[in-house]
Structures are given as C-alpha cells and as structure tokens.
C-alpha cells in the first residue's frame, strides 16, 4: 500500500504541474457595473456533484469520462457527496475497508488529471445524514461517540491526501446540517464544526475546509466567521421548483411550478441570497455546493429560474455545483419528458441546460 500511495501522490503532483492555472488562483469575476463582488476568498467554482459514493449501495466506480467531459465543457469543480459506511467494515467506525478508499484515491487522481478542484463531502458522517436509508445509532450534534469517529475519519482523509495541494482538494465537513431544534442547537453546530476543523488542522493546517449552511444549507453561520473556513449554501429555493414531485421530500402539497410565481420572484430570490453576500463581505469564502431542479419540473421553468439564480450568485462571486451530472437533476440522462435530447457518446445530453451553465464562465 505504501508504494501505491507514493505512486498516487506522484501522479497528483504531476497533474498539478501541468495544469495551466490552479483553480484556487483564479480570481472571481467582477460585476459588469464595475463594483466589487462580495465573495473574493474562493474561486467561483463551477461544476457538478458525482454520486458514485453517495449511498450505502454505491460501488465507488467513478467514470473517467465524467471528469473529461466536465473539463471539456469548461467546468473546474467536482464535489463527491460520500457515505462513510462504504469504507468501514462490520459496522465498526474504526475498521477501515481499504479497497473502497483506493477507489476514492482514483477519483481524486482523475479530478487532478483533468484540472478539476475536488471537494470531499460527508453526505453521511458518523451520527448524521439527511439520507433516510439508515438510522445512525448516535447523534453527531449531541453525542461524544460520533464526534470522535467523525474526527477520526476526517483525520484519516487529511493524512491520506496530505500531499495533494489545497488548490486541488478541499474538505466539506457534513452535508446540510438540520434546522435549529431538538436534534441540534446553534451551539451544538458550532462546537462540532470547530472540533472537526481543529482535528483536520492538526494534520493539514492549510486545507480549505467548508461547512454547509444550517437548515439544510439555507442559513449561514456568522458565528464561525473567525474560524478561517468557507461556508456552502444551496440553490434549491423555492422548493416547489427544485423538488416538484420529488418522493424524498414532502412535495405532495407543492403547487404547479411557475417562475415567477406563488410568492417568489427575482427580488425575493435576491433577498434569500443577500445573507450569504453579507457573510462573504466579512471575509468568509462562500460557495453553492448543490443546486438544480428535479426532472418533474417543466424544463422552461427550470431554465428561467436557474438563469436568475446563476445571475444572482455570479454577481456575488459565488460559484455553483449542480446536483448532479448524470441523473434527474443533471445535464445527462435526466429523464425529463419535455427535452429534445442530443445524443452524446450514447448518453442523452440536455444541451439547453448545458449552454445556460456555460454562459456563466
């Protein structure tokens, strides 16, 4: 394994050397009016989520074509929402399953090969996940046991990728913490984030660390502004557009999607993101780690709404990563019934959605 690790890090270093410009060195674009954007700490990363380690049923078989196509289309970012239980054995949080971690090595290597910044995210971490496929035995936000395991896994990844530059790789702690309530207080959230960040920095002091917003990515945590980490929002509001007829949310009462409509318009969307711009003005890096609309929303509504989202985020210097590349939110094989697909290497490409995303380079 030591030889494999050395070879892996050599490949990553070579990939970094041939890249024309590290993603982290890119400067956010300015508004057309000449005013400075709010967010200047991070690049305005643009890309997609890849779901090959998303659930407990995932195989970790990342496809090299996905990385190549993202690069060729002009994107610079990929996020891996991951389930930590894929790389443990016998339900033991501290017993690692090396073959799955080697698949993750390969995916990180592929991102570097094609000049994409990769963000590693725990979609399921010890003690918490928004995914209902498994009930964690402890509560990350309240209990010591899962927090200890959470820090163990982040330190394991910090050691594993210590030789990969911050330009190429960042850590996104845990996907979409819940709203303030019984499961978690604001103080609980702050304690968990600060503890995990300290654990990572013991190994990789300069690693870019990202904390998803509270209330499923919708609310920033300004109390963490002094920590020197970035924060991640979402592009899912309003939910009646992004999750219309989605089975995993309570969508049965959502109205027929329209944009603008049902009390939402461009102005309200701007107000929704203003709190994130205000956070950015405090010197906090902000990115939008997930966004997009499920395939039951009419395509013309998706395009009109997403154009406004992209314009607002771009004006603030905030990048967007679509959920997902392939699948019901994506540009490939989305299953929409109102799209004229283009054949693309045997896949169904939503060219109109791709072109919209490419307008915001």
User: CATH no. for residue 347?
Assistant: 3.20.20.80
Contact 128, 141 (CB under 8 A): yes
In a domain, 226, yes or no: yes
pLDDT for residue 35: 57
User: What mean pLDDT comes out for the span 71-89?
Assistant: 98
Q: Give the per-residue pLDDT at 33.
A: 39
Mean pLDDT throughout 179-196?
98
Is 1's pLDDT higher than 90? no
The pLDDT value given to residue 36: 81
Does the residue 33 lie in any domain? no
What is the reported pLDDT for 15? Answer: 42
Q: What is residue 28's predicted lDDT score, i.e. its pLDDT?
A: 40
Q: Give the least confident one: 8-12, 48-52, 301-305.
A: 8-12
User: Quick one: pLDDT at residue 19?
Assistant: 37
pLDDT at 150 over 60: yes
User: For residue 209, what are the β-bridge partners?
Assistant: 171
Q: Is 34 a member of any domain? A: no
Q: What is the mean pLDDT of residues 328-343?
A: 98
Residues 151 and 195: beta-carbon distance below 8 Å: yes
- pLDDT of 6 strictly over 60: no
Mean pLDDT of 72-80: 98
Count the domains in the chain.
Answer: 1
- Residue pLDDT, tens place only, 200-216: 999 999 999 999 999 99
Cβ contacts of residue 321 below 8 Å, gap of 6+? 45, 46, 47, 48, 49, 77, 78, 79, 119, 287, 288, 289, 290, 291
> How far apart are alpha carbons 290 and 181 in whole angstroms?
24
Mean pLDDT, residues 350-355 taken together: 98
Is a pLDDT exceeding 60 seen at residue 294? yes
Note whether residue 30 is domain-resident. no
Q: Mean of the per-residue pLDDT values for the chain? A: 92
Classify residue 145 by burial, with Cβ atoms within 10 Å: 0-12, 13-18, 19+: middle
Residue 26 lies in a domain: no
Residue 43 lies in a domain: yes
276 inside domain: yes
User: Residue 348 falls within a domain, yes or no?
Assistant: yes
Domain range spanning residue 291? 2-18+39-358
């Amino acid at each position: 394994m030591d030889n494999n690790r050395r070879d892996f890090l050599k490949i990553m270093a070579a990939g970094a050397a041939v890249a024309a410009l590290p993603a982290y060195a890119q400067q956010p674009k300015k508004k057309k009016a000449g005013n400075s954007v709010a967010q200047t700490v991070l690049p305005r990363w643009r890309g997609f989520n890849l779901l090959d380690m998303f659930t407990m049923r995932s195989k970790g078989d990342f496809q090299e074509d996905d990385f190549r196509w993202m690069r060729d289309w002009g994107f610079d970012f990929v996020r891996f929402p991951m389930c930590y239980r894929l790389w443990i054995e016998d339900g033991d949080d501290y017993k690692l399953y090396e073959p799955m971690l080697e698949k993750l090595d390969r995916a990180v290597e592929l991102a570097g090969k094609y000049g994409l910044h990769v963000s590693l995210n725990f979609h399921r971490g010890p003690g918490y996940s928004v995914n209902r496929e498994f009930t964690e035995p402890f509560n990350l936000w309240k209990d010591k046991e899962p927090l200890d395991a959470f820090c163990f896994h982040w330190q394991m990844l910090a050691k594993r990728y210590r030789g990969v530059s911050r330009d190429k790789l960042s850590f996104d702690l845990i996907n979409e913490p819940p709203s303030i309530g019984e499961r978690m207080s604001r103080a609980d959230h702050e304690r968990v984030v600060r503890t995990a960040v300290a654990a990572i920095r013991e190994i990789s002091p300069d690693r870019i660390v990202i904390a998803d917003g509270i209330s499923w990515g919708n609310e920033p945590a300004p109390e963490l502004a002094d920590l020197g980490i970035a924060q991640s929002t979402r592009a899912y509001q309003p939910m009646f557009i992004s999750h219309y007829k989605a089975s995993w949310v309570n969508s049965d009462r959502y109205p027929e999607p329209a944009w603008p409509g049902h009390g939402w318009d461009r102005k309200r969307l701007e107000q929704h993101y203003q709190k994130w711009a205000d956070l950015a003005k405090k010197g906090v890096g902000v990115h939008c780690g997930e966004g997009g609309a499920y395939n039951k929303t009419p395509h013309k509504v998706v395009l009109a709404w997403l154009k406004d989202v992209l314009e607002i985020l771009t004006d603030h210097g905030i990048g967007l990563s679509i959920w997902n590349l392939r699948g019901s939110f994506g540009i490939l094989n989305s299953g929409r019934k109102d799209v004229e697909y283009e054949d693309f290497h045997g896949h169904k490409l939503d060219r109109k959605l791709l072109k919209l995303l490419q307008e915001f380079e």
